[in-house]
Amino acid sequence: MSEHHDLEAENRQLRKLLKSAQSAGRAKPQPSARNVPALQLELPKVLRYPLADFAATRGRKVPLPETVAEIAEVIGRENAVRLVEGTRATGSRKWRRHLYVPGEMHEEHRITKMVGLEAAVRLSHSHTNCIIELPSCFALRKAYMADHALRLSDAGATLSEIASEMGVEQKTAKSLLAGADYWSVRLC
């Protein structure tokens, strides 16, 4: 009987050695993440939201995409565009911005930091546990750029100066100025 116990002990020891030899050079498995709170990505270092400011003032008449318009009904037009502007693009497609809205909003959440606690709580009540794909608000961006190019032109800037200031090519600046008449009628 003692010989049997000795063989079992030797077997256990050999299994431990084999297991340690097989896992040599590998990282130890991490503990379960059940109790760890979800990682919140840091906000991009945006000091101001020019598109949101434009949407609330001169761009009030420019239509918003349906998803953003729904959010704007709950938290206001400026805050809705601020969410679009402050949310990072996800995946390989630059226009995709996904935003998860949790059931309970706290002061340290990134949505709260963008739009304020009161608006974030209203958004949380209306879109609890939703993943929202935020569109890029192309029409609003186009109107903002055309308005900015027109203001620079009215101030006496040349085409190359406008292109340099806006960070676009001269042909893009030229097309923005050509489309400025279309947008100037639609702006406040």
CA distances from 34 to 13, 28, 37, 38, 105 (A): 33, 18, 8, 10, 20
Shared-domain flag, residues 73 and 127:
yes
- Placement of tokens 């349906």 in the chain: 66
Structure-block tokens of residue 15: 């299994």
Instruction: For residue 112, tell me if it sits in a domain.
Output: yes
Which residue segment(s) compose the domain that 180 sits in? 140-186
Shared-domain flag, residues 120 and 146:
no
Shared-domain flag, residues 104 and 170:
no
Tens of pLDDT, residue by residue over 137-171, are: 899 999 999 999 999 999 999 999 999 999 999 99
Tens of pLDDT, residue by residue over 51-94, are: 999 999 999 999 999 999 999 999 999 999 999 988 887 777 77
Inter-residue contact 136 to 84 (CB < 8 Å): yes
For the chain, the domain total comes to: 2
Shared-domain flag, residues 131 and 167:
no
Taking the complete model, does pTM exceed 0.85, yes or no?
Answer: no
pLDDT higher than 80, residue 31: no
User: Counting every residue, how long is the chain?
Assistant: 188
Q: Which residues contact 116 (CB under 8 A, 6 or more apart)?
A: 79
Inter-residue contact 46 to 85 (CB < 8 Å): yes
CA distances from 86 to 5, 34, 40, 113 (A): 66, 29, 14, 10
Grade residue 49 by pLDDT with cuts at 50, 70 and 90: confident
Instruction: For residue 43, tell me if it sits in a domain.
Output: no
Instruction: For residue 35, tell me if it sits in a domain.
Output: no
